[in-house]
Amino acid sequence: MQIRIGFLLLVCLCANAKGQQEIAYPYKTCFESAGKQYKISPGFLASVASVESSLNPSAVSSSNAVGLMQIKWPLTAAELGISSRDQLFDPCLNIHAGAKYLNQLEARFKSRMLALAAYHIGPTRVSAIEAIPKSTLSYIEKIYQEEALLAHSSSLADLGSCQIAGLINLTVKTHHPKQRQVEVIEWLTETQRFCSIAKLTGFKNRLPELMGTADADGKVDRLLDRILALKVNLQR
């Protein structure tokens, strides 16, 4: 099933956040730097990376798309001024390359929606068709959903949802290791559905620092892996 481009633009999900909150997520300074340079919201860039690679800088697809933003090697990379495949494993460089590419696509198609479609299936194909495939519509929707989760995290926290800051405070204030682990597992089980991949990945990266010996048996780490795997599978 396909939807005409003109109609697609009329029903755009437009989840771009108003007044993004100060949220911590992996490679945040790199997303902010690239966003400033190419006039793209850092949260939007992080959302593209979440959907493209689950924020894994070592990700390589079967079509040889590499890194956080899944830059195709060698053609797209060469167009973006990248001469070595190894460079694409540098998180900041990869993010800047993805931001530059999105900026170019948006300038070409005069639409962020069509730029995302071109990022997913290639600009030549977007130029040649009058309709966007259902799979690409799903891809675009996932990016907007992830952006909305990331951008509205503080608003969700007010409703008792994805309070990552509160969870971090919990790990600091709960001194008994076993009790700390129980409370963190309970929190993740109850509220993970409101959390973006970026936020959960950020918490996982800080797990050794925040949990210490409280997660010596790895229960929290394994739970986070299962939650992240489920979110990634739902986006495919």
Beta pairing class for 71-72 and 65-66 = antiparallel
User: Which residue has better confidence, 152 or 101?
Assistant: 101
Whose tokens are 């494993």? That residue is 89
pLDDT for residue 159 is more than 50:
no
Q: How many helices (H) and strands (E) does the chain have?
A: 14, 4
Rounded-to-integer distance, Cα 176 and Cα 18, Å: 40
At residue 208, the pLDDT reads 84
pTM of the predicted protein model: 0.62
Domains of the chain: 24-151 (1.10.530.10), 155-235 (no CATH)
180 Cβ contact list (under 8 Å, min separation 6):
170, 171, 174, 211, 214
Token pair of 155 as six digits: 């608003």
Task: Identify the H or E element spanning 19.
Answer: none
The identity of residue 177, as a single letter, is P
Q: For residue 139, what are the CA distances in angstroms to 71, 95, 224?
A: 16, 19, 23
Q: Give ∠ CA 192-195-199 in degrees, rounded to 5.
A: 115
pLDDT digits (tens, 9 = 90+) for 12-53: 333 333 333 445 678 989 999 999 999 999 989 999 998 999
At residue 232, the pLDDT reads 65
Weakest-pLDDT range from 3-12, 58-67, 89-98, 99-108: 3-12
Measured distance between the N- and C-terminal CA atoms of the chain, rounded to whole angstroms: 17
3-class DSSP assignment, residue 80: coil
The identity of residue 144, as a single letter, is Y
pLDDT digits (tens, 9 = 90+) for 149-158: 777 654 433 3
At residue 8, the pLDDT reads 32
At residue 144, the pLDDT reads 87
Q: For residues 146 and 17, is the Cβ–Cβ distance under 8 A? A: no
